[in-house]
Amino acid sequence: MPRFFIRQTQVDGDRITLRGDDAHHVARSLRMALGDAVTVCDMQGNEYACRINGFDDDRGVFLDVLSVKAAENEPPLRIRLFQALPKGDKLDTIIQKAVECGVSEIIPFESERCVVRVKPEAETRKTERRQRIAEEAAKQCGRSLLPTVKATVSFSEMMRLAADDELCLFCYEGDGTEALGTVLKRELRGRTGISVIIGSEGGFSVTEAERICESGALAVGLGKRILRTETASGFVLACLVYASELDGNDW
């Protein structure tokens, strides 16, 4: 069933109006008709089962609210992914898969070994495009909250932001790490805000790794094999999903 994200201001009692790109998508791309069903999420944890009751060409689609329920498909963790800029279009895939795995926010950052560098004149356009990728992924996988993709930040700003969360996982292939599973068993229960830091293709310099650990992050290893940057985030997020939702314990 088609799924759309709205602001609560678009809800008027038992009526909701879709406008802009969403209205065009319903009317022109999906070619939906009167009486067709859609799901609408208000990004406040509520899902609305709706039925189409009218069109204003492709400028507006009018919905009747049939029922409202609290969302049940969001993870119990608020996970923020800090991803060092990778080459090419890898970040597109990283965003898509991270959203499917339940991430709440994605913050790209620059590090010493990043090949790609921020171009200020293009950053707004790139961030908007990345946000659209996140929204499409959220619709496809049935999310009820829309993850946010932030503009690229510096290495120092990344550390400052990541330190705000209750638990910060620094994924590192160097010395001095603990296995991710060991850390999750010891540290995860009772936490709600998690940061995950992933490097680019070249990883992190020793100086950067030391700075991250000194900021309070826990250096974790991801097994006996070196994962590509576009694989590492999905791997860690899948482990977090398993530990918090699928292992059969009472979270």
Per the CB < 8 A criterion, the answer to whether 194 and 159 are in contact is: no
* Residues 111, 184 share a domain: yes
Which pLDDT does position 59 carry in this prediction?
85
* Residues 161, 45 share a domain: no
Give CA–CA dist 222/246, Å, rounded. 19
> Quick one: pLDDT band at residue 251, thresholds 50, 70, 90?
very low
Owner of token pair 């550390």? 159
175 or 206: whose pLDDT is higher? 206
* Bridging pattern class, strands 178-179 and 218-221: parallel
* Residues 51, 85 share a domain: no
* Residues 169, 216 share a domain: yes
59 in a domain, yes or no?
yes
Where among 70, 89, 113 does a domain terminate?
A: 70
Identify the domain containing residue 33 by its residue range. 3-70
Q: Is the pLDDT of residue 130 over 60?
A: yes
What percent of the chain clears pLDDT 70, i.e. is strictly above it? Answer: 98
Q: Is the pLDDT of residue 232 over 60?
A: yes
Give CA–CA dist 239/227, Å, rounded. 14
* Residues 158, 179 share a domain: yes
**What's the pLDDT tens digit per position in 98-121?**
999 999 999 999 999 999 999 999
Per the CB < 8 A criterion, the answer to whether 193 and 78 are in contact is: yes
Say which amino acid occupies 4: F
* Residues 36, 92 share a domain: no
> Quick one: pLDDT band at residue 248, thresholds 50, 70, 90?
low
Within 10 angstroms of residue 13's Cβ, the number of other Cβ atoms is: 6
Instruction: Show Cβ contacts of residue 149 under 8 Å, excluding neighbours closer than 6 positions.
Output: 95, 105, 106, 108, 127, 130, 131, 133, 134
Q: Per mean pLDDT, which range of 153-157, 172-176, 199-203 is the poorest? A: 172-176
pLDDT, mean over the chain: 93
**What's the pLDDT tens digit per position in 193-222?**
999 999 999 999 999 999 999 999 999 999
Which pLDDT does position 64 carry in this prediction?
97
**What's the pLDDT tens digit per position in 29-87?**
999 999 999 999 988 889 999 999 999 987 899 999 999 999 888 889 999 999 999 99
44 in a domain, yes or no?
yes
Which pLDDT does position 249 carry in this prediction?
61
134 in a domain, yes or no?
yes
Q: Region 164-174: what's the mean pLDDT? A: 95
In degrees and rounded to multiples of 5, residue 145 shows phi and psi of: -115, 140
* Residues 202, 162 share a domain: yes
251 in a domain, yes or no?
no
Give CA–CA dist 59/176, Å, rounded. 57
Handedness of CA 169, 170, 172, 176 (dihedral sign): negative
Helix axes 206-214, 155-162, angle to 10 degrees: 30
**What's the pLDDT tens digit per position in 16-45?**
999 999 999 999 899 999 999 999 998 888
SS3 28: helix
Which pLDDT does position 57 carry in this prediction?
82
* Residues 43, 84 share a domain: no
Which pLDDT does position 71 carry in this prediction?
84
Q: Is the pLDDT of residue 250 over 60?
A: no
Q: How many domains does the chain have?
A: 2
